[in-house]
Chains A and B, each alone.
Chain A
Amino acid sequence: RKEVEQDPGPFNVPEGATVAFNCTYSNSASQSFFWYRQDCRKEPKLLMSVYSSGNEDGRFTAQLNRASQYISLLIRDSKLSDSATYLCVGLSRGGGNKLTFGTGTQLKVEL
């Protein structure tokens, strides 16, 4: 079983829709979590950190549930420019701050 699991999609949604991505993790050594965005053939870029209390950045809301080992990302009012792959990522503080990536969920926002 992978340490971080995501539905690969693709999620095809119309512009303006709300879309939610989920992620589960199995390694309790991961102490911090993030969502990264990766455009086609580009490097991953940090979208936002994920906290148990939940955090919001504009149209994006992320939530961590440590009891269920579950992470979510909600995108409201989707834009064409949101089309990308969204990677769920865990960071293990011990041993060099290595990142463990999920396979990514592909989002396509359509007119």
Chain B
Amino acid sequence: DTGVSQDPRHKITKRGQNVTFRCDPISEHNRLYWYRQTLGQGPEFLTYFQNEAQLEKSRLLSDRFSAERPKGSFSTLEIQRTEQGDSAMYLCASSLVQGYGYTFGSGTRLTVV
């Protein structure tokens, strides 16, 4: 499979727990994006990386959220002390710098109970 893969597909966690999601982009894509989508809304930008550098973070990304892309390949998104409002679909996408051909992964659906 040469697309963007995300793991896990679903995560149910108790409020206050930490969770970590992983995204493996298309191998030749040097840009990697995280978006969040809540019910009835379109996806909203969270952050993006160019290679291993995190170049922008949305104000939606509170201090409880951290993202890394240590070797410029896969990325992780960690949420600490989860809240019910964090329940959403977390989407990862990748692209080339020169183009805007985004490819989205299937997403990780988080439910905080």
Residues of A within 8 A of B (CB): 4, 8, 32, 41-46, 87, 89, 91, 95-104
Residues of B within 8 A of A (CB): 31, 33, 35, 40-45, 48, 50, 55-56, 89, 91, 95, 100-102, 104-107, 109
Question: How many A-B residue contacts, CB cutoff 8 Å?
Answer: 51
Q: Name 17 interchain pairs, CB-CB below 8 A, sorted by A.
A: A4-B42, A32-B100, A43-B105, A43-B106, A46-B101, A87-B43, A96-B31, A96-B55, A96-B56, A98-B45, A98-B48, A99-B33, A99-B45, A102-B42, A103-B41, A104-B41, A104-B42
A97-B56 in contact (CB<8A)? no
Q: Which residues of B contact A98 (CB under 8 A)?
A: 33, 45, 48, 56
Q: Which residues of A contact B44 (CB under 8 A)?
A: 101
Looking at A32, A96, A102, the one whose CB has the most chain B CB atoms below 10 A away is: A96
Q: Please tell me which one of the listed residues A32, A41, A97 contacts residue B95 in the complex, with CB atoms under 8 A apart.
A: A97
Chain A residue nearest in CB terms to B109: A41
Q: In the docked arrangement, what's the CA distance between A87 and B43, Å? A: 9
Chain A residue nearest in CB terms to B48: A96
Q: Which residues of B contact A100 (CB under 8 A)?
A: 45
Q: Which residues of B contact A45 (CB under 8 A)?
A: 104
Chain A residue nearest in CB terms to B43: A101
Q: Please tell me which one of the listed residues B40, B43, B56, B100 contacts residue A44 in the complex, with CB atoms under 8 A apart.
A: B43
Q: In the docked arrangement, what's the CA distance between A99 and B17, Å? A: 30
Q: Which residues of A contact B105 (CB under 8 A)?
A: 43
Given contacts A43-B91, A96-B31, A96-B48, contact A101 B56 (CB under 8 A): no
Chain A residue nearest in CB terms to B92: A43
Chain A residue nearest in CB terms to B41: A103
